[in-house]
Amino acid sequence: MPSKTYIVDLTEDERAQLLDLIRIGETSARKIRRAHTLLLADEGKTDATIASVLHIGASTVQRTRQRFVEGNLERALNERPRPGQRPKLDDKAVMVLVTLARSAPPEGHKCWTIQLLAERLVELKVVDCISDETVRRGLKKSGSSPG
């Protein structure tokens, strides 16, 4: 059974947006590739031709066409938000962590350790629970280190 063909018919404004996106080139490679896909599809090229020219799969071309026809230009160019857990350490929590890491260590300790920082974040109710690795990544991302 042949798959449904989605005909891409760009307006002048949409075509101009895509051409600007490609010319500027300050976006992700995927977005630029999708812009090229839509422009070639608007020129009447087949999925196989577009796939060959852009070195992508024909199903990728078909999905990009489908997202444009069933949605709009924005939906065709951008990825859907991916599900996932929120980060344990938001910006405020990272600030608390960095401040803590730069403060004097607890009594009886020469310096802060990752484990001590994790325990203190829980004590301060910044987070319910947190792993040492998450604390380490938070410090690394902020450019800080315990001690």
- CB burial string 8-19: b at 16+ within 10 A, e below: bebeeebeebbe
CA distance 73 to 17: 9
Residues 6 or more apart in contact with residue 49 via CB below 8 angstroms: 40
Tens-digit pLDDT profile for residues 86-107: 888 988 999 999 999 999 999 9
Whether residue 142 is predicted with pLDDT greater than 90 in this model: the reply is no
Give the pLDDT confidence of 43-85 residue by residue, as tens digits: 999 999 999 999 999 999 999 999 999 999 999 999 888 888 8
Helices (H), 2-125: 12-24, 29-42, 47-54, 58-70, 73-77, 91-102, 114-123
Query: How far apart (Å, rounded) are the C-alpha atoms in residues 33 and 25?
Result: 11
**Closest to 116 (Cα-Cα) out of 14, 104, 144:** 104
